């Protein structure tokens, strides 16, 4: 099931880039990010209400709140930077560099979460890094 969700995420992320590139024309990138964020917030809360999971908000620990807020700040910074890059750069190059986050995430997971590196993950990191370089140059 995780693979289907991950593939759907990839398809929607691809659509996000294409739709954003078209929609951002003539719009300030920060304003465009704010509009996109409002839509995401509304959609997320609709899903919380539809699934009736809003009651769980009282059970969230302080640690989880802290890291969820920090994650939200990182997401906001990422989106602001992404939209600015998308507005002034070629979509294919911006997306390639953005997806380099996979390599950065893997390194951070190794350092901070103590997840194991395997031969496959090292090869994958190298290939993604090389692919990013090829796409950008």
**Is the pLDDT assigned to residue 91 strictly greater than 90?**
yes
The pLDDT, as a whole number, for residue 35 is: 96
Which residue is it, tokens 């997306």? 95
DSSP 55-113: GGGGG--HHHHHHHHHHHHHHHHHHHHHHHHHHHS-HHHHHHHHTTHHHHHHHHHHHHS
pTM, to two decimals:
0.84
Query: What confidence score (pLDDT) does residue 10 get?
Result: 87
The per-residue pLDDT for 2 is 87
CA-wise closest residue to 14 among 92, 89, 73, 78: 92
């Amino acid at each position: 099931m995780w693979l289907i969700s991950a593939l759907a995420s990839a398809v929607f992320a691809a659509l996000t880039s294409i739709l954003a590139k078209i929609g951002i024309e003539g719009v300030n990138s920060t304003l465009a990010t704010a509009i996109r964020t409002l839509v995401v917030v509304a959609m997320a809360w609709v899903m919380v209400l539809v699934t009736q999971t809003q009651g769980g908000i009282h059970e969230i620990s302080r640690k989880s709140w802290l890291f969820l807020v920090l994650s939200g700040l990182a997401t906001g910074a990422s989106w602001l930077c992404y939209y600015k890059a998308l507005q002034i750069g070629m979509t294919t190059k911006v997306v390639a560099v953005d997806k380099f986050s996979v390599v950065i995430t893997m390194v951070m997971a190794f350092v901070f979460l103590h997840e194991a590196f395997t031969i496959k993950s090292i090869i994958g990191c190298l290939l993604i890094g090389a692919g990013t370089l090829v796409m950008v140059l």
